[in-house]
Structure 1
Amino acid sequence: MLGPINFLTRHLINVLVFSTAATLTFVNFTGITTMLALPLGAAAYFISNKITYAIQKTTQSKKIGLSKSEYNLIEAQLKQARSHIQALNQQYVRVRSVRAFKQINEMSKLAKRIINIVQTNPQKFYAVEDFFYAHLPSAVQLSDKYTLLTKEQVPSTDVHLALEDTRRTLKDLQITMESDLKSALSSDIENLKIELDFAKLSNEKRKDRLKIGGE
């Protein structure tokens, strides 16, 4: 959940640590010991990366009002959700109908939007917990089941009924994920309404003052 600035800063520090450690080893030691310059520099880079990353995570979690355990939990759920999206996207090449392709594509887009929102504002995770724990994993499992059923070489009544049931369930999940997205956006929409109401009130007061001044 750390942004690109944190990434660049961390690796810039690591490079400086690497070059400093390698240079000091090479300059201050002679003979076979100088061969350790690069390994020692690499070790310093690795240790520096671990320490800097931990510091950045702690700073970021405090900044957004989360405990370290909460931050790690959300980070792990985001990572898991991205792997679910990759699995969902793999179904594109397996489905055999345009309708199924569109449905999976729509669910993938919804999932990406929700993940991006939580990535930007981790506290929104708690408004869409069910999406991470149930809705997205179910979408992956059902889409995989659907593609397997469509590959049945000998269609039967049971297969047809199972396909129809899976289609309906996937559609219901899509609607549920749309509700998840609305939940993730709800606080932003409410804040926007408040800002609009405030702007309207300020504009009305300004008009009243101008009207009084004109009189």
Structure 2
Amino acid sequence: MKNPLLFILRALVTIPTVIICSLLLINQLGLSPLPAVVLAVAVGAGIYFGLGKYADARLYKKYGLTRKEYNFILTNMKEAKQKLSRLKSVFVRIRSISSLKQMIELNRLVRRIFSIVKKEPKRFYEAESFFYSHLDSVVELAEKYAWLNSQKLKDASVKQSLLETKETLNDLTKTLEKDLHKVLAKDIEHLTFELDVAKQSLDKRGLPEVFEKGDKNHYDNRK
């Protein structure tokens, strides 16, 4: 996603430009300080926003997205980040070891998918069901489970709800694993293809072709 350092770099270019421009306008053109500063700031603003537009254009090109697509994905990622924070807060309220392990696994899968899409925003379209449905279900059910588990009075109905919620979270864990596999599907396919090519190459070469004739004879004599 967008690099915060770009704002600093733009400022480092713009501020010296404004200062130099102000001095030139005052010393070379004889303008009074106020108009000179106003003009210099206008020039600096143009440079600052121009560099921003240029950086954004390069960013969209890098990710293979349009400006509209990128901003749409960025909005969804911000919302997802808030949900991740809510899921993280559930840990504090979990007391059971088995339930804590379950939450750790859910959190691991959720953050893995999020980090992959953050690094490569175009993969958002391969994980739409995760962002639009599954993440919400995980967070809501985890919060519900943590709330029920924190209740001092646990009658039969509460225990049944806890059991059903835990089972549903187990199902969601499997669903998240499928979401992760879907996001990584192209990488897995590419790796499988590369492995097949490498195996075919090795099969074609074989042992006799690996050695030079003299080395092969030496190898045979040693046997």
Corresponding residue for residue 175 of structure 1: 174
Deviations 1:119-178 (A, max 9, x none): 222222212111111111111111111111122232222211111111111111111111
Amino acid at match of 1:80: E
The alignment's C-alpha RMSD in Å is 3.0
Q: Separation in 2 of the partners of 1:46 and 1:106?
A: 49
Note the 1:126-137 alignment, pairs <5 A. Answer: 126-137=125-136
Q: Separation in 1 of the partners of 2:47 and 2:91?
A: 41
Q: CA contact under 8 A between 1:84 and 1:140: conserved in structure 2?
A: yes
Provide the secondary structure at the position in 2 that maps to 1:87. helix
C-alpha displacement at 1:19, in angstroms?
Answer: 2.7
Q: 1:52 to 1:80 in 2, by over 3 A?
A: farther
Question: Larger Cα Rg: Structure 1 or Structure 2?
Answer: 2
Q: How many residues align?
A: 206
Amino acid at match of 1:193: T
Note the 1:185-196 alignment, pairs <5 A. Answer: 185-196=184-195
Corresponding residue for residue 8 of structure 2: 11
C-alpha displacement at 1:65, in angstroms?
Answer: 2.5
Q: Separation in 2 of the partners of 1:18 and 1:157?
A: 68
Q: Separation in 1 of the partners of 2:201 and 2:155?
A: 67
Q: CA contact under 8 A between 2:14 and 2:47: conserved in structure 1?
A: no
Gaps (5+ residues) in structure 2? 217-223
TM-score (structure 1 length as normaliser) = 0.80
Q: Separation in 2 of the partners of 1:85 and 1:44?
A: 39
Q: CA contact under 8 A between 2:123 and 2:183: conserved in structure 1?
A: yes
Q: CA contact under 8 A between 1:14 and 1:45: conserved in structure 2?
A: no
TM-score (structure 2 length as normaliser) = 0.78
Q: CA contact under 8 A between 1:92 and 1:104: conserved in structure 2?
A: yes
C-alpha displacement at 1:47, in angstroms?
Answer: 7.9
Gaps (5+ residues) in structure 1? none
Q: 1:8 to 1:154 in 2, by over 3 A?
A: closer
Q: 1:124 to 1:25 in 2, by over 3 A?
A: same
Say which of 8, 18, 21 aligns to 2:18.
Answer: 21
Structure 1 window deviating more from structure 2 (90-99 vs 202-211): it is 202-211
Corresponding residue for residue 107 of structure 2: 108
Structure 1 window deviating more from structure 2 (9-18 vs 172-181): it is 9-18
Amino acid at match of 2:13: L
The alignment-based identity, stated in percent, is 33
Structure 1 window deviating more from structure 2 (135-144 vs 202-211): it is 202-211
C-alpha displacement at 1:208, in angstroms?
Answer: 8.1
Matched, 1:145 2:170: no
Q: CA contact under 8 A between 1:89 and 1:105: conserved in structure 2?
A: no
C-alpha displacement at 1:10, in angstroms?
Answer: 4.5
Q: CA contact under 8 A between 2:109 and 2:180: conserved in structure 1?
A: yes
Corresponding residue for residue 156 of structure 1: 155
